[in-house]
Amino acid sequence: MFNIILFGPPGSGKGTQSEKLIFKYELKHLSTGDLLRSEIASQTELGLEAKKFMNKGELVPDEVVIGMISSALENNPHSKGFLFDGFPRTEAQAAALDQLLKFKQTEIGVVLALQVCEEELIKRLLNRGLTSGRPDDNNGEVVKARIIEYHKKTSAVADYYRRFDKVVEVPGEGTVDEIFESLCAEIAKRKP
């Protein structure tokens, strides 16, 4: 089993590249953003609570997302590996993920960290906001709040995995195919 974390700030291309990577490597895609939006669409209690944080560009509490990932891992016992997208986003989430994977006798193989400048992130998110209907994309203040939240709480997750020599920085600007090739080249160096 080979597990990947696709890491990076909001708008760095995690979702876009995840779609291509899960197809090539036959991985199960676990995106906490997608799971939360699906809870919101179904108007569950969890979704209604999460929406309050997401619409302000703030992180949803750790216990909520850790619970969702724990259930997703349990529900996919025969997966060849997982691609985590948008998770973990705090050190507490990273430590919880390590424990959950240990129970499954596996671990994170590599953390691929997409590097994109702030100006490009804002441009991409506001541009998507014109058509996506995502309330956290169509408001400049919320987009900025998401980036601030990333620097305050999430960038430390890369430091957490650097301690275990698992982080590889990959340029996230250029065409989608160019970035995909760089990601695959890094996976090839680490995947057994």
The count of residues in the chain is: 192
Closest approach, Cβ 80 to ligand AP5, in A, equals 22
Smallest distance, ligand AP5 to C-beta of residue 192, A: 27
What is the C-alpha separation between 66 and 62, in angstroms, rounded?
Answer: 6
Which span sits near ligand AP5 by CB under 6 A: 9-17, 72-80, 97-105, 157-165? 9-17
Asked if 124 is part of the footprint of ligand AP5 (rule: CB under 6 A), the reply reads yes
Of 8 and 187, which has the nearer Cβ to ligand AP5?
8
Contact between 146 and ligand AP5 per CB under 6 A: yes
Cβ 96 to ligand AP5 shortest distance, Å: 11
Q: How far is the CB of 2 from ligand AP5 (least distance, A)?
A: 21
- Binding-residue pattern over the window 66 to 105 for ligand AP5, x denoting contact by CB under 6 A: --------------------xx-x---x------------
Residue of 3, 187, 30 lying closest to 98 (CA atoms) = 3
- Please list every residue from 33 through 62 that binds ligand AP5, using CB under 6 A: 33, 36, 53-54, 57-60
- Three-class DSSP labels, the chain: CCEEEEECCCCCCHHHHHHHHHHHHCCEEEEHHHHHHHHHHCCCHHHHHHHHHHCCCCCCCHHHHHHHHHHHHHCCCCCCCEEEECCCCCHHHHHHHHHHHHHCCCCEEEEEEEECCHHHHHHHHHHHHHHHCCCCCCCHHHHHHHHHHHHHHHHHHHHHHHCCCCEEEEECCCCHHHHHHHHHHHHHHHCC
- Candidate segments 20-28, 31-39, 98-106, 182-190, binder of ligand AP5 by CB under 6 A: 31-39
Residues in contact with ligand AP5 by CB under 6 A are 8, 10-16, 32-33, 36, 53-54, 57-60, 65, 86-87, 89, 93, 124, 128, 136, 146, 176, 179
